[in-house]
A and B are shown apart, each in its own frame.
Chain A
Amino acid sequence: MSPTPNMKAKLGKNVFKPGKEKHIIIRPGFEKDPRLKAALYVCPAGLYSENSKGEVELDIDGCLECGTCRIACGTEVLDWTYPVGGVGVQFRFG
């Protein structure tokens, strides 16, 4: 299900420019890795969820690009870069 309706409304206030590619990818084969479970709790946008098969999924729309999941889970399980130029969240207040 990923972001709750409350969170979706919150993220909806942000200016967000969608891109063609996902800038954070759960590395194939690591969907059930215990290190990935941290993402369920640390993401301030609540973009990670666990499906019925026990796999962690990421819904990248709304990503704040904060880097918390990269630090919590590590780069062995997440292929993590910033979005390409001019894509992703554009903070107006910051």
Chain B
Amino acid sequence: MVEKFEVIVVGAGLAGLSAAYALAREGFEVVVIERGDYPGAKNVTGGRLYTRPLQNYLPELWKEAPFERAVTNEIVTLISSGKSLTLRFRSDEFVRPPAHSYTVLRGTLDRWLSKKAEEKGAMLVTKNRVDDLLKKDGKVVGVLAGGEELGADVVIACDGALSLVAEKAGLKSPGTSHDYAVGFKEVIELSSQTIEDRFGLKGQEGAAQLFLGDLTKGRFGGGFLYTNRSSLSLGLVIRIKDLTEGNPLKEAPQFLDEFKERPEIAPLIAGGEMVEYSGHVISEAGFTGLIRPFADGLLVAGDAAGFSLNVGLTVRGMEFAIASGVLAAQAVKQAREKKDFSATSLSIYQTLLENSFVLKDLKTFQHAPVFLDNPRLFQHYPRMAGDLFQSLFTVGPEPKQKFSTTIREKVSWSEAWEILKDLRKGLKI
């Protein structure tokens, strides 16, 4: 073996860079190996980061992080054919520093975080792909990267949702199309002023908008729109399995093209310049999709370990990545004190995760995937809402019915029964 480090981190995303930062700060000899030209080159978010869970995880960093806009406006839009119903929530609570959540572009954020980790003494090797794990007597003892063998006491796999490293370690099998969705988005440049005018935003405040309904034609998923400083992130998330079913079948890119043409979207992006198109897979399995995140000489953090959580109104991953990276670093520190990097020693990572918001939140919301696995949510309800409000708002040539009559007409007894059943599932969340 040519070179040996104390810790090798695979992947310069938020999990890997947070782990490297936390380790370097403690004086560890840590190297991050990244296959892209720079940190962030292969990374994609929707995206937004919630800051409050991070108050105990590298808090000194987040005050100066290059976030885009503080999200003060939460918007949910139900889309049906030719109609839409929007709920917009604004709160001063979300503004008070540190703001509740920020829109984020990974190109900026990940490069910045890597600089911070390097300042603490972490090494960064870019343009280098980790091809395999080195094992000795069944234990991970390093990696094979770019044809070179690199040794380490511990390898931390932070190589994203597909985690080929966790697969090679035997901790993970390739995901199923039921448990994973694909997110794909365009970054559309517009001036800050235009964004503030179009979304009714004050200064550097921002909006996050989620769309549900006809845009996915009943398929599990939805649309998102985040305001960055001087661009919009506009995209869709659709469960992979659902893209291979349905009649007629439709190609993924077509959903986004049609979404962009909708009257709810077209005026918001008009005149903007599309500057990037990206895509990424996301685990939608939640708690049940988690893997064992440790083995002899190996830890797994971030998306690689399945730490992502969609509960409909909030979609989270990046805070879990940061926190799990920090906890992985703590586990390595404790293991070093014992000079024991076996799975038994590293299992402290699991305990640390269980005591943190990472596994607590995933566990609390373990029923969310079951609730969301309901086609009625993605077509029937948005359509019903559209029809109901159409009737309530319409003044026609006939004498107008009482509102209660209109509602009873739109929501029959059997329909009400179905709604109650779905609500009951929802109350488990």
Residues of A within 8 A of B (CB): 4, 6-7, 10-11, 13-14, 17, 37-38, 40-46, 64-68, 70-72, 74-75, 81-86, 88-94
Point out which of A13, A17, A86 has the most chain B C-beta atoms below 10 A from its C-beta: A86
A64 adjacent to B107 (CB under 8 Å): no
A94 touching B253 in the complex, CB below 8 Å, given contacts A65-B42, A68-B281, A84-B146: no
A45 adjacent to B107 (CB under 8 Å): no
A83 adjacent to B129 (CB under 8 Å): yes
How many angstroms from the CA of A74 to the CA of B231 in the assembled complex?
Answer: 36
Q: Decide if the interface of chain A is mainly helix, strand, loop or mixed.
A: loop
Which residues of B40-67 are within 8 A (CB) of A?
40-45
The one of A72, A74, A84, A92 in contact with B276, judged by C-beta atoms closer than 8 angstroms, is A92
Which residues of B174-199 are within 8 A (CB) of A?
174-177, 180, 182, 184, 186-187
CB distance from A32 to the nearest CB of B (A): 17
A46 adjacent to B251 (CB under 8 Å): yes
| Binary contact readout B301-325 vs A (1 if CB under 8 angstroms, 0 otherwise) | 0000000000000000000000000
B interface residues, tally (CB under 8 Å): 52
How many angstroms from the CA of A90 to the CA of B39 in the assembled complex?
Answer: 10
How many angstroms from the CA of A42 to the CA of B45 in the assembled complex?
Answer: 19
Chain B residues within 8 Å of A72, by CB: 177, 240-241, 243-244
The one of A44, A65, A86, A93 in contact with B126, judged by C-beta atoms closer than 8 angstroms, is A86
A71 touching B126 in the complex, CB below 8 Å, given contacts A14-B276, A45-B253: no
Nearest A-chain residue to B146, judged by Cβ: A85
How many angstroms from the CA of A4 to the CA of B110 in the assembled complex?
Answer: 32
CB distance from B69 to the nearest CB of A (A): 14
23 pairs, CB–CB < 8 Å, chain A vs chain B: A6-B257, A11-B277, A13-B274, A17-B37, A41-B251, A43-B252, A45-B277, A66-B44, A68-B240, A72-B177, A72-B241, A72-B243, A82-B35, A82-B42, A85-B127, A86-B36, A86-B126, A90-B42, A91-B106, A91-B276, A94-B40, A94-B43, A94-B276
Q: A81-B164, A91-B42 are in contact. List 10 more A-B contacts (CB 8 A).
A: A41-B249, A42-B182, A44-B256, A66-B279, A72-B243, A83-B35, A85-B35, A85-B145, A90-B36, A93-B231
